[in-house]
């Protein structure tokens, strides 16, 4: 079993606002991805592409666990490239004047044979950007 990628970020916003940003598809468009078929319900499958016109990587997830204002867990896969899946978990904890957001991406080694765009380093860089350069400024503005 590989070491998970863990990225943490303190955000100066209450937990309920962070939760809404993570689970409302209209809000997600502003800071994350445009996930048109996202529904906050266990077992629901959702699909999206990275921003831009290329539509190079089809992402697919299935919601595995929902604990309102605390945890959102879903699978993360690239069905055109591999039948393997990884797991992404968002954990929220109230912290003085805000929320501590912890993202855990597990089983990343399942994508080892897919090339550099699917490497641990690439995912770590991507998640750091999403939390620190997208979610944090979106919620603190």
Q: At 92, which CATH number?
A: 3.30.530.20
CA distances from 138 to 11, 13, 14, 19 (A): 10, 10, 13, 13
CB–CB of 74/82 below 8 Å?
A: no
Quote the CA–CA distance of 111 and 119 in Å, as a whole number.
Answer: 7
Our count of domains for the chain comes to: 1
Q: What pTM does this model have?
A: 0.94
Query: The domain containing residue 19 runs over which residues?
Result: 5-140
pLDDT reported for residue 52: 65
What is the pLDDT tens value at each position of the chain, 141 positions in all? 589 999 999 999 999 999 999 999 999 999 999 999 999 999 999 999 987 666 678 999 999 999 999 999 999 999 999 999 999 999 999 998 899 999 999 999 999 999 888 999 999 999 999 999 999 999 998
Cα torsion 12, 128, 7, 93 to 10°: value is 20
Cα 72 to the center of its chain, rounded Å: 9
Q: Which residues contact 36 (CB under 8 A, 6 or more apart)?
A: 25, 48
CA atoms within a 13 Å half-sphere pointing along the CA-CB vector of 41:
5
């Amino acid at each position: 079993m590989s070491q998970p990628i863990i990225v943490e970020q303190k955000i100066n916003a209450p937990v309920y606002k962070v939760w809404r940003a993570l689970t409302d598809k209209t809000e997600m468009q502003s800071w994350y991805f445009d996930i048109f078929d996202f529904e906050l319900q266990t077992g629901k499958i959702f699909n999206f592409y990275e921003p831009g016109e290329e539509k190079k990587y089809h992402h697919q997830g299935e919601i595995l666990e929902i604990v309102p204002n605390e945890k959102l867990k879903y699978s993360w896969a690239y069905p055109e490239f591999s039948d393997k899946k990884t797991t992404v978990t968002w954990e929220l904890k109230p912290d003085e004047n805000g929320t501590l957001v912890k993202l855990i991406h597990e089983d990343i080694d399942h994508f080892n044979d897919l090339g550099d765009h699917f490497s641990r380093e690439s995912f770590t860089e991507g998640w750091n950007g999403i939390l620190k350069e997208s979610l944090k400024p979106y919620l603190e503005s």
